[in-house]
Structure 1
Amino acid sequence: MISQTVIIAILIIFLAALVAFSLFLRINGGFIKKKPKGSGIDLGNAQYIGTREKQDDSFATYVSPYGTLAIVADGIGGFLNGHLASKIAVDTYLSEFKKNDVTGNINYYFQHASKTANYEIRKKFEDIPCGTTVVGTILIKNDLYWVSVGDSIIALFRDGRIIPINRKQNVENWLEDQYFSGKISREDALDHPQSRRLMNYVGYDGFEGAEVSPRPVTLQKGDKVLLYSDGIETLNQIELETLLSRKKASANDLAEDIIDAIKRKNVKSKDNATIIIMSINKI
């Protein structure tokens, strides 16, 4: 007959194994790579701290019966709690996505999740400056819906070329709009000392909402959807396109190739870098 002590020991070992497995399923604030069964989507991700003291990026993917969610948030490094802000944002988008089938009004979900995340960050930190960028996508069959706040990137890799999907919400693009509308001179648009400063982010007191897709992007077999923080821009577009062109490589291998290339690049300063890749293998 098994003694009570042995039973307790077995339970402790089982619980320890369960905790270890749970930790294994999360890596640096995101979920490990997986290929949704029968979906024709290959998901991959990779992350790098760069030369920074801490990792302010968070990310996640989640596969539901009605769609696949991907989120990347880049906590603002100039603020003390950027890493916490990005985690709150990712957790909020995930929890709101899991509550209900959002396919009836995806843009409402995006705006609601963005405003809820903004509220949660402001509630936690009150008067302490804190914030994060967010980019997210929902893939339903071959339709891609997206949300964007700040200067992180959503792009499509098709036929060997990277095609931007969203537009950075920073001073540089605002100045460009002002110039083309005739409100400022070309010199004023080019010489602004704070051209990279964000015009919008989650956790901002004046936050009014996110930019969302006016219509879905129709994907094709062979497309790759990219979501990434600006640390990936340590590589230029040609370098990224070359790496993404490797045939028969998994989405995870491609993501890790990109991070490895950033690590090898000889530059003095490297920002946190995070990338999610969704390869469309069939429609």
Structure 2
Amino acid sequence: MNRRGIIKGLAIVLLLLVIVYIGVAAIPDKQLEQLWTSEQGEIIEIAIAIGMIGFGALLILIIVFDLPAGNNRISNPSHGVVEAAGAGAKKESRPGVAVTPAWEPPPVPLKTPSIEQIVGAANAAAELISNSRNAVITMKVITGHAQHIGEREEQQDAYGFSSLDDEEAIERHGVLAVLADGMGGYAMGKEAGQLAVQTMLNEYIAKSAEESIPRALEQSLHLANQAVYEMALSHELEWSVGTTLIATVIHQGELYWISAGDSRIYLFRSGVLMPLTRDHIYANRLREYVLAGNLTLEEAESHPERHLLTSYLGIPRITEIDANQEPLHLLTGDLVILCSDGLYDDLSDKLLEEASCLYPPLAAAFILQHVLAGQRPYQDNATIAILACV
């Protein structure tokens, strides 16, 4: 049962208790004495009152404090925030799709670094290490991955890698890793994630030698989006199917990436975990309102829709994508990490420092086991993919 269903059920039970309480209070005392003694009547009234208070308090807690009430990542579609056709386009007559992750995002800082600043800082650090560029010739990539269904009924995360055995293909287009997180609570979340990953892999490895990696990634992502959207249309589920998608390419010691949604990509270097992507959530728009003076920081941080997705695959056209045009220079020992939202809240410098000492497949399993050891009652699907530069 999803969150809306539980709220609706609690409201119905509360309403019935109120009706029963009013009905009992309206019965004349003489008729009540024919049914039960005065002591029994008082016990019944107290029990009904306690039930009303209990169900009412639980309903208020779920609504006001946004407590998890099931395995649904989707909130009311009428509250969605999707810009599928740009700022100047006409609004669709149907409501947008609102996606609610299973985690509660921290307050969003007013100023976050741009992709260019992230790449610039990482490249500047790489240049400080002598012979870093000479190491590119011998740098290899070893992958690792781990996945768990969590407390969900279905595994809706998907991932994949391009071939690591084809030296010619690696020389031509590098090593590609893709991860998708199907939108739980909507139809075909599992199918959407798998289709997005497979389409992304197929389209990217078919790129021509003349096509740049950033261009090939962007084109492949749009084709993956088209495939998911057409699948939804074929099942008469338009606006009801979706998935996040992130992808990275390591080519000749350089990293490129692309992102739509709230799955994340990190670079772990020299004991520091660095996020390369930002979550595409409504909190970003709220931050802009704060900077413009149209909203206070307190209002932005407490906004009930701050965690809704504003970009994902499965809509007619994606307008919000994160991607780097200039490559990020990698160093031997770097870890590139892709993960879904069921895992990344537990990542830390200390955890990655321990994991980096392990062979990549074991490192991925080690990180996942650390996450599962937390035994969250509403643990989401958790997936991690690692690309280690050796």
Give the drift of 1:209: 5.5
Equivalent in 43, 48, 51 of residue 151 of structure 2: 51
- 1:92 and 1:137 map into 2 onto residues whose CA distance is 15
Structure 2 gap segments, 5+ residues each = 1-137, 164-168
Equivalent in 343, 354, 363 of residue 232 of structure 1: 343
Equivalent in 257, 270, 276 of residue 379 of structure 2: 270
* Match of residue 84 from structure 1: 191
Alignment of 1:64-213 (within 5 A): 64-65=169-170, 66=172, 67-101=174-208, 104-126=211-233, 127-128=236-237, 129-208=240-319, 210-213=321-324
Aligned-partner residue type, residue 166 of structure 1:
T
- 1:101 and 1:46 map into 2 onto residues whose CA distance is 32
Contact in 2 for aligned 1:110/1:210 (Cα 8 Å): no
- 2:381 and 2:209 map into 1 onto residues whose CA distance is 31
Superimposed CA distance per residue, residues 161-196 of structure 1 (whole angstroms, 9 cap, x where no aligned partner): 210001111112232233234332212211111222
* Match of residue 77 from structure 2: none
Superimposed CA distance per residue, residues 217-260 of structure 1 (whole angstroms, 9 cap, x where no aligned partner): 1111111000111111352535xx32443454111111000111
Contact in 1 for aligned 2:204/2:217 (Cα 8 Å): no
The two structures have a TM-score, normalised by structure 2, of 0.59
Equivalent in 350, 354, 361 of residue 252 of structure 1: 361
Relative distance call for 1:106 and 1:123 in structure 2 (3 A) is same
- 2:370 and 2:192 map into 1 onto residues whose CA distance is 28
Deviation larger for 198-207 or 80-89? 198-207
Deviation larger for 145-154 or 126-135? 126-135
Alignment of 1:8-27 (within 5 A): none
Aligned-partner residue type, residue 146 of structure 2:
A
- 1:181 and 1:250 map into 2 onto residues whose CA distance is 48
Equivalent in 323, 331, 339 of residue 220 of structure 1: 331
SS class of match (1:104): coil
* Match of residue 29 from structure 2: none
Any runs of at least 4 consecutive aligned residues in structure 1 with deviations exceeding 4 A, and if so which?
A: none
- 2:313 and 2:209 map into 1 onto residues whose CA distance is 21
SS class of match (1:245): helix
- 2:331 and 2:343 map into 1 onto residues whose CA distance is 24
SS class of match (1:107): helix
SS class of match (1:194): coil
Structure having the higher Rg = 2
Instruction: Indicate the structure whose relative CO is greater, using CA pairs within 8 Å and at least 6 residues apart.
Output: 1
Superimposed CA distance per residue, residues 15-52 of structure 1 (whole angstroms, 9 cap, x where no aligned partner): xxxxxxxxxxxxxxxxxxxxxxx752111001011000
The two structures have a TM-score, normalised by structure 1, of 0.80
Contact in 2 for aligned 1:46/1:255 (Cα 8 Å): yes
Aligned-partner residue type, residue 162 of structure 2:
Y
Relative distance call for 1:109 and 1:54 in structure 2 (3 A) is same
Contact in 2 for aligned 1:244/1:254 (Cα 8 Å): no
Give the drift of 1:160: 1.2
Equivalent in 38, 42, 45 of residue 142 of structure 2: 42
- 2:145 and 2:375 map into 1 onto residues whose CA distance is 23
Percent of aligned pairs sharing the same letter? 30
Contact in 2 for aligned 1:111/1:209 (Cα 8 Å): no
Aligned-partner residue type, residue 159 of structure 1:
S
Aligned-partner residue type, residue 91 of structure 1:
Q
